[in-house]
Chains A and B, each alone.
Chain A
């Protein structure tokens, strides 16, 4: 072992065979001692807080695949994604105090014991730091994605299940791939959900027949949803055809509020009005050009909202032909783009981000569940964005206040995108977005960083040198 006063470097192999005697302020877990970048100590000194606190840290690394060194592009701290897949890799840096308090090394998990250590450390850590610098080079990533033996998957599942037993005793983990563990949770309460649907009564051709979007949308909610504690708040423009309003009212549907909006079109104002008129603890914003595919869609959203720091949850949105419309937003080059848009729903990215519920920087408002308390806290949707970018702005506001946003593939909703209105964006909206969030929108995405996640089959090797640090400039 190579030791210094502050850092004690420990290879995973050494950790396996010997009890770790701590001789420094921080333990640095690596594949082997020569895997660390020159000058890593200086970078760690600059990046890490005082060793007296309970500190967990990780950094980027490169992995050699087919003679090419590929950068890993890890996200900032993403606890939901970590339950679904071990994205942290190496190096892992743990302060002595945290290592002692979380119970140290558990050799029984073999080479995957580092996953167990990171989960246990994260449960009590006071600070979790991501260092966006390549500090580690390896030929053997911690997770062997080629290993599909049931024994290997069982170890991963046990690690995650142990974590859940400590943190969410009702939750159950199921691992189906080295990078895909699904967590099943039961709701601890059944809050009233207000489904807010803005409409102007558009008729459009879907699946070869003309249909009134709002009517089909409501029909879909009522016929499919297994959750029963909800109200529907339909915010209709004054010019909505009278027949449409009569039809909705005439169906004798329970828990429906019809709210008239008599001002010029402004999506944000309509949503805010719906929110003010609603009674639920949770708002579920839904476009009228949507159709529900998953019976448990409301429950799936609510399970994540039970975590205190989660404010928003969104589903997998699919186009009419089954391709992906949006798997959440990510910042790329000059703005927010839909993840994997236009790709087949059964494909995935190299890091399987379409298979696990995980943090996102934003979600489309076509279908999003939001805690009403947070909606009020951030001032609802910004009415200065009448048509576009109100969702990007809202996501940034939510994250500015320190909340997480989760996207889940386990709820699926069809979104016949912009069938109900003109999808064209206005220049003043783009300008305003850049005024508010220019630095945010033109930086790498904090959760899906480094590569163009609109593509599903891309490796990040071409972007090895283009990383710019991500910062939110907030006091």
Chain B
């Protein structure tokens, strides 16, 4: 109780003036504080969970975006290679080369003889 109001308390008889916190009241205040801290912690946990979900969501989106980007890049490279291949096949060098190796490829395509198969099985 402050000094300023001390004498007031003595003069007041019909109105209750409380200046002290009893042990029970102090404990009640402490319990209130603890409960508030508990709910506050729960609320903070909620924030963290929400943030995690958001981050996870962003992570998934980033992976998907990266995947799409990679896919597009692969397609582009694929297209360029096909084009390059087409150009190569049209070239004179390629045509001459094919003529040169053609007999060899015909030879390679011949099936193995039955005797050779037998010898392998033996």
Interface residue ranges, A against B (CB under 8 Å) = 238-240, 242, 245-246, 248-249, 252-253, 256-260, 262, 272-273, 275-277, 376-384, 396-397, 400-401, 435-439, 471-474
Contacts and interface: CB of A to CB of B under 8 A. Distances in A.
B12 interface: yes
B47 A435 contact: yes
Contact of B50 (A257, A275, A276, A473): A473
Contacts of B39: 378-379, 397, 400-401
Contacts of B96: none
B29 A272 contact: yes
A435 B33 CA distance: 18
Contact of A379 (B2, B16, B36): B36
A473 B29 contact: no
A260 B19 CA distance: 5
B18 interface: yes
A123 B25 CA distance: 42
A246 B31 CA distance: 33
B50 A436 contact: no
A249 B36 contact: no
B46 A249 contact: no
13 contacts: A252-B14, A257-B17, A259-B18, A260-B18, A262-B19, A277-B18, A378-B39, A379-B36, A380-B35, A397-B36, A401-B39, A439-B50, A473-B50
Given A242-B8, A471-B50, A258 B17 contact: yes
A438 B32 CA distance: 23
B4 to A, nearest CB: 6
Nearest to A277: B18
Given A258-B15, A435-B47, A474 B29 contact: no
Contacts of A381: 36
B89 interface: no
B82 interface: no
B106 interface: no
B121 to A, nearest CB: 61
A423 B57 CA distance: 40
The 3 closest A-B pairs by CB, nearest first: A379-B36, A379-B35, A473-B46
Contacts of B19: 259-260, 262
A238 B47 contact: no
Nearest to A382: B36
B79 to A, nearest CB: 34
B47 A473 contact: yes
Contacts of B36: 378-383, 397
A276 B37 contact: no
Contacts of A259: 17-19
B25 A276 contact: yes
- Interface of B: prevailing SS: helix
B46 to A, nearest CB: 4
Contact of A473 (B15, B16, B33, B49): B49
Interface residues of B, number: 37
B29 A276 contact: yes
B46 A474 contact: yes
A249 B46 CA distance: 47
B40 A436 contact: yes
B15 A379 contact: no
B42 A238 contact: no
A97 B78 CA distance: 58
Contacts of B74: none
B5 interface: yes
Nearest to A472: B46
A382 B37 CA distance: 8
Contact of A256 (B15, B33, B53): B15
B29 A246 contact: no
B43 interface: yes
A442 to B, nearest CB: 10
Nearest to B18: A259
Contacts of B50: 439, 471, 473
B44 A435 contact: yes
Contacts of A252: 14
A249 B12 contact: yes
Contact of B8 (A239, A245, A378): A245
A327 B66 CA distance: 48
Contacts of A401: 39
B83 to A, nearest CB: 40
A473 B43 CA distance: 8
A272 B28 CA distance: 9
A221 to B, nearest CB: 15
B21 interface: yes
A400 B12 contact: no
B44 A436 contact: yes
A376 B32 contact: yes
A427 B8 CA distance: 39
Nearest to A251: B15
A407 B25 CA distance: 31
